[in-house]
Chains A and B, each alone.
Chain A
Amino acid sequence: MFWSSVLLALRAIRRNLLRSFLTILGIVIGVGAVITMVTLGNGATRAVSDQISSLGSNLIMVRPGQRLGPGRDSAGAPRFKASDAEAIAAQIGSIHAVAPVANKGVTVVYAARNWATTVTGSTDAYFTVGNWRLADGRIFTKAEQRAGKAVCVIGATVRKELFGDRPPLGDELRIKNFACEVIGLLQSKGQSAMGMDQDDIIVIPLRTLQRRLTGNQDVNTLMVSAQDSGDTDRIMADLRLLMRERRKIVANEDDNFSILDTRQIAEAMTGTTKVLTLLLGAVAAVSLLVGGIGIMNIMLVSVTERTREIGIRLAIGALEREVLLQFLIEAVALSSLGGVVGITLATLASIGLAKVMQVPYIFDPGINLLSFLFSAAIGVIFGYFPARRAARLDPIDALRHE
């Protein structure tokens, strides 16, 4: 009985090619759209959170001024000093590393090439805090930091722009008016979540920067990394107290600095992409719904014809359960085929678009299964249940169905 039902179902699919095709199309579009949208959204969110975690886990940033976010302009608020970093390292527990950071935008020159970039002055702790790994060479020593030696560690972009294919280690590039030996090459981190090239970087000892480029003792940012992410709240509270004390802020005066941890940075940045993913998902869900309504319409339009067909089958001696099995197999076959085609197309589209958009492709079994089940359910419900109603009619009534 099962095989004859399969045979009958396959015949019915072949006979009603247009109807079958439209049913499959509805499922393909619904499944395909939802999976593609959600997969790309997940990829974008992952890209952002990857960038943030590449900043260094458990990272806390202390900046002068109260304004958050990029393009901060902390005019008026006093800068930090290198001694602030030392005080933090000495007085606050559970800290992995503290790096004072100061920057200066300059043009660097090597041979006939020059490159406009930002030079970062910091200590060896910067590489720990910023989660940087060396591709080659070494970072600067404590002695070099104390002496303010002209040594630098460069990122992949700077190396490519200035040195091309030549090995940079041991060579000297010129930063403004002094020559600086390249002692280390950093591993590439790629683009940041904000679309900035993180490899466009030159790190020199803080004292070198202060003496030779900025001419002052200022530090723009203090980067702190906690030993354990569970401690960040306490560390941030301690940091606040310490900085208020060091900056002589009286009891009811506002902070003239701000403290952010990775989680807050991450929330600010992934928040946007999450909203976008949700939005895309919602749009795709509408197409899933439209696909479902399409299936529903096709099935309901053919109910009269199908009811008569069921009447004929019953009259010539088909059992109710045979008719039902046939229609169930038909509905399941069409829905599954549509689901498989939809998932295949969505996977291809997601991989292709992820490449174009430079976000990672992440296979999400949940959304694949969910959208497949939803479409299949629509196909089965609207293919099977009208058939079930018809199969319960008396054959004569089914034959008379107008």
Chain B
Amino acid sequence: MNATSAHAAPENGALIELRDATKTYGQGPATFLALRGVNLRIDAGEFVAIMGPSGSGKSTAMNILGCLDNPTSGAYLFRGMHVENLTRNQRALLRRYYLGFVFQGFNLLARTTALENVELPLVYRGEPRAARHAKARAALDAVGLRQWEHHTPAELSGGQQQRVAIARAIVTDPTILLADEPTGNLDSQRSHEIMDLLAALNRDRGITVLMVTHEPDMARYAKRVIHFVDGRVDSDHHNGEHS
């Protein structure tokens, strides 16, 4: 894994960039074009919301940007490094060292305390026990759940679970935080708390946040909103400037 090359100075300053990326599922007559040539560039420190109706390709784009999936054609550059040709294991290492994930369904390990859930990415990084504990506690502190560290997901509310998930995503100090409908399972008040938290992480820690949502209320927290329609970027504007 040439993970170090990801540290190389980006050629044009872009943190991540999609160039004419396509993604097809299935074969023959059942072929489905999820992405039909997407060009996208996101710089460090941005807070981007990706919106669009179901089947518009926003989740597919998110999976590719999160190195969970490869585009069928086109290029994906992460800090100027081509990711689209990497193997499964290389993408896993990229996720391990640069990315943090927050999912709609929280995806915490059952019967596992908040602290152990947050520690998990550090275990795979091979961090020693003391450092793991300290970092995990700090991350739980950052999401306001320091006193809940010994509770399991079943003992936490949805909003709390999502905050544990955010703590798990930021415990490694990721370059990018990818959130796939992070408020999809939460009520309005909890959703706003989560969005406040993501905005704060972006503002105070400079973590680039990339979020998929279909709620305009939530997209308003982002600095930039990209709309997907039919596998293409339909509109791309910064909040405040009306196109």
Residues of A within 8 A of B (CB): 1, 4, 7-8, 11, 15-16, 305, 308-309, 311-322, 394-396, 399
Contacts and interface: CB of A to CB of B under 8 A. Distances in A.
A317 B109 contact: no
A20 to B, nearest CB: 12
Contact of A399 (B88, B103, B109, B110): B103
Interface stretch (B73-81, B116-124, B181-189, B217-225): B116-124
Interface in B80-128: 88-89, 92-97, 99, 101, 103, 105, 107-112, 116, 120-121, 123-126
Contacts of A394: 68-69
Given A319-B92, A320-B89, A396-B63, A313 B107 contact: no
Given A15-B112, A308-B107, A395 B68 contact: yes
B168 interface: yes
Contact of B123 (A8, A311, A319, A395): A8
B93 A315 contact: no
Contacts of B109: 15, 309, 312
Contact of B110 (A1, A7, A305, A313): A305
Contacts of A313: 120, 124
27 contacts: A1-B126, A4-B123, A8-B123, A11-B112, A15-B109, A16-B111, A309-B109, A311-B107, A312-B107, A312-B120, A314-B92, A315-B68, A315-B101, A315-B103, A316-B101, A316-B124, A317-B95, A317-B96, A317-B125, A318-B92, A319-B89, A319-B93, A320-B88, A394-B68, A396-B63, A399-B105, A399-B107
Contacts, number: 67
Given A317-B92, A317-B121, 18 more contacts: A1-B126, A15-B110, A15-B112, A309-B109, A312-B120, A315-B68, A315-B107, A316-B96, A316-B101, A316-B124, A317-B95, A317-B97, A318-B96, A319-B92, A320-B88, A320-B89, A321-B89, A399-B107
A317 B111 contact: no
The 3 A-B residue pairs with the shortest CB-CB distance in the complex, in nearest-first order: A317-B96, A317-B95, A316-B121
Contacts of B125: 317
A303 to B, nearest CB: 14
B93 A317 contact: yes
Contacts of B97: 317
A317 B124 contact: yes
B114 to A, nearest CB: 13
Contact of B116 (A11, A314, A318): A11
Contacts of B107: 308, 311-312, 315, 399
Contacts of A314: 92
